[in-house]
Amino acid sequence: MTNGRETGLRLSATGQLALREEPVITRLMTAALERPELLSLAAGFTDNARLPAAAVERAVAALRVSDPGKSYLQYGRNAGDPALREALAGHMRTFPGETLPGIDPGDIVVTNGSQQLLYMTVQLFCDPGDCVWVQAPSYFVFLELLRGLGVRAVSMPVTPDGTVDAEGCRRQLQQWRLEGGTGRPRLAYLMGAFANPSTRSLAAEEKTALAEVFRSEAPELPVVEDMAYRELYFGAAPAIPSMLSMEAWRDHPVLYAGTLTKPFATGLKIGYGVTRSTVWREGLERIKGHQDFGSSQFAQALP
Ligand SMILES: Cc1ncc(COP(=O)(O)O)c(C=O)c1O
C-alpha cells in the first residue's frame, strides 16, 4: 500500500502533501547506503573511517560504572538530559567568536537531530499557505520540509557574491507592509556557518546590518540561525559570533540550531536548539512532548 487514494483511505491535508512526493533526502540516503564505498556528501554522510567507534565504546563502558541505575536505558526528560544540556552550554562557550559569557542550559532543547528542531519550529510559527524567508541558496531538505507542510519559501535578497542584502531586505519588508502584510514571512531561516550548499558563512558585519533592519522593520519576526556545519573546517577554528551571542540581536527572537551529528556521529541523531525566547522554547518543548517526549537517553549519554 503506497497511496491512500488507491485503498480509499481518506487523507488529511498534511497526509496528502506528504504523499505527493518522496523526500529527495530519503532517496539520497538509500542510494548512499547501497554504495558504502562512496562517501555521499549529497546525503550529508560523514566519513565512516572517522566515526568515533572507540570513544563510543569507552563511553558505554564508563556508563555502566557511572550510572548503575541505568538511566541511559530509561525514558528521560522531554527537553533533554540535564548533563548533556550543561555540557552543550559549556561546549558552545568554547567556540571562537562567541562573545556573550553565558548560555543557560535551561535555554537548550535537545532534539532528534537538528532536523526535528527545524520541523518543530516551522510547525510552531507557520500555517499552510504561509511563507518562510530563506537565505538563497538554501538547504534543500529544509525546503522540502516546508513543502511537506504546505509552506512556501521566499528568497531573501542577496548580492551576486551571496551576501545577504540588508537594505534589500528592508525594502522588501516595507513593501510587504505597504501591501497590508499579505505575503510577509512568518519565519526567517539563515545558515551562519559554512552554509549548505554554498559553504559560505555570514560575516559579523552582515549580521549586524541585518539586525538593524529586523529591529526597525520586523522586531517580531523569528530568525533561525542554522549552525550545523560550524565545527567542520580545515585548519584553525574560525571565529564566528552567532546571532545568539551578538549584542545587536540581543532582544530579537533568535534560535541557534546546532547538531552533534556532523561533528560527532550522524547515526546518533542528536541535535539541539538554543533560544532566549521563552515562547519559542516552551513551544518546542510542547510539540516535542507530543512527538516523542524526549530524545534517546542512550544517544544523549554518549557524546
Ligand atoms: C544545513 C543543515 N542543517 C541541518 C541538517 C540536519 O542535520 P541533523 O538532523 O543530522 O542534525 C543538515 C544535514 O545535513 C544540514 O545540512
Domains, the chain, in order of start with CATH, read 50-301 (3.40.640.10)
The number of the ligand 1 atom at minimal distance from the alpha carbon of 117 is 9
CB-based burial label for 64 (10 Å; 0-12, 13-18, 19+): exposed
Number of neighbouring beta carbons within 10 Å of residue 271 = 23
1 has pLDDT over 60: no
Q: Which atom of ligand 1 is nearest to the CA of 43?
A: 14
| Site to substitute for ligand 1 among 26, 138, 226, most atoms within 8 A of C-beta | 226
Residue whose CA lies nearest to ligand 1 atom number 15? 228
Q: Report whether pLDDT(38) > 80.
A: yes
Ligand 1 centroid distance, CA of 45 (Å)? 10
Question: For the sheet containing 152-155, what is the strand order?
Answer: 108-112, 270-275, 254-259, 223-226, 187-191, 131-134, 152-155
**Ligand 1, from 29, 121, 259: best to mutate by most atoms within 8 Å of Cβ?**
259
Distance, in Å, from the CA atom of 206 to the CA atom of 255, rounded to the nearest integer, reads: 18
Of the candidates 112, 111, 94, which has an alpha carbon nearest to the alpha carbon of residue 103? 94
Share of the chain above pLDDT 70, in %: 97
Grade residue 103 by pLDDT with cuts at 50, 70 and 90: confident
pLDDT of residue 100: 67
How many percent of the chain have pLDDT more than 90?
89
Q: Which residue puts its alpha carbon closest to atom 16 of ligand 1?
A: 196
Is the pLDDT assigned to residue 4 strictly greater than 60? no
Ligand 1 centre distance from Cα of residue 4 (Å): 30
Instruction: Give me the pLDDT at residue 166, please.
Output: 98
What pLDDT digit, counting tens, does each position of 161-181 carry? Answer: 999 999 999 999 999 999 998
Return the H-helix or E-strand segment holding 118: helix 113-125
**Best residue for ligand 1 mutational test, from 40, 146, 196 (most atoms within 8 Å of Cβ):** 196
Q: Which residue has 585548519 as its cell numbers?
A: 235
- Residue list, ligand 1 pocket, CB within 6 Å: 44, 113-115, 139, 191, 196, 226, 228, 259, 261, 266, 269, 271
Q: Mean pLDDT across the chain, nearest whole number?
A: 94
pLDDT at position 182: 87
- The reported pLDDT for the residue numbered 102 is 72
Question: Could you tell me which residue, 139 or 103, shows the higher pLDDT?
Answer: 139
C-alpha closest to that of 84 among 275, 258, 288: 258
Average pLDDT over residues 121-126: 98
209: its cell numbers:
546590518
Q: What tens digit of pLDDT does each residue of 210-246 get?
A: 999 999 999 999 999 999 999 999 999 899 999 999 9
pTM flag (> 0.75): yes
